[in-house]
Amino acid sequence: MVPDEELLARSQKGDMEAFTLLVERYQKMLYTIAYRFLGNPEDAGDAAQEALVRAYKNLPGFRGQCSFKTWLQHIIANVCRDALRRLKRRPTLSLEGLQETEGVPWELAAGEAVTSPEEIILAREGEDHLHKLIQALMPEYRMVIIMRDLQGFSYEEIAATLGCSVGTVKSRLSRARQFLRQHLVREREHFAKQSVYISKGGEGR
């Protein structure tokens, strides 16, 4: 496979075939990230396309300060940030009632810890539930949880993208994590009760 660096260099010289290969390599990634942010196929497709357009327009200015993949991730995050500011039609859940929990690990039970909400869902053979919970978050919280826990951006990178302080990023991330953790634990407890009920043959029917 031709390295990204070679395709990028050729693309910056006007080689459209090379850029097409880069598009084919990363368009699925861009769509997946956009879908996490925006929550539906139509908006995700539009955002992924917009990210590719922005990437092409800004190719001359890319100097390799990070990998091409990371650069694209920054671009799609910015596109989705702008889209979320325009799309205010979806209902969201308030996090105002949650306590600050900075530094609290993702724990579901004693001795059972994970590093991100995504790992919890993967352990339960699917991430649909997590996706729905993330979509319920207000945009500012959705951005930080996806950028930090699913994309791996630093606090400083997130702050620069969102135009806020690192302290604000950490506060929003803490509240978003607490929201997800509470709802995932609640859902897991419900699932466990249902399993016990079924194993007992539905006593009391």
Q: Does domain 106-199 have CATH number 3.40.50.720?
A: no
Per-residue pLDDT of the chain (205 residues; tens, 9 = 90+): 899 999 999 999 999 999 999 999 999 999 999 999 998 899 999 999 999 999 999 999 998 888 999 999 999 999 999 998 887 655 444 444 433 333 333 333 333 444 455 555 445 444 667 778 888 888 889 999 999 988 889 999 999 988 899 999 999 999 999 888 888 777 666 555 655 555 556 555 4
Q: What is the pTM of this model?
A: 0.69
CATH topology of domain 4-86: Rna Polymerase Sigma Factor; Chain: A (1.10.1740)
The pLDDT assigned to 151 comes to: 87
**What are the structural domain ranges in the chain?**
4-86, 106-199
What does the chain look like in DSSP terms, one character per residue?
---HHHHHHHHHTT-HHHHHHHHHHHHHHHHHHHHHHH-SHHHHHHHHHHHHHHHHHTGGG---SS-HHHHHHHHHHHHHHHHHHH---S--B--TTSPP-TT--EEEETTEEESSHHHHHHHTT--HHHHHHHHHB-HHHHHHHIIIIIS---HHHHHHHHTS-HHHHHHHHHHHHHHHHHHHHHHHHHHHHHHHHHHTT-TT-
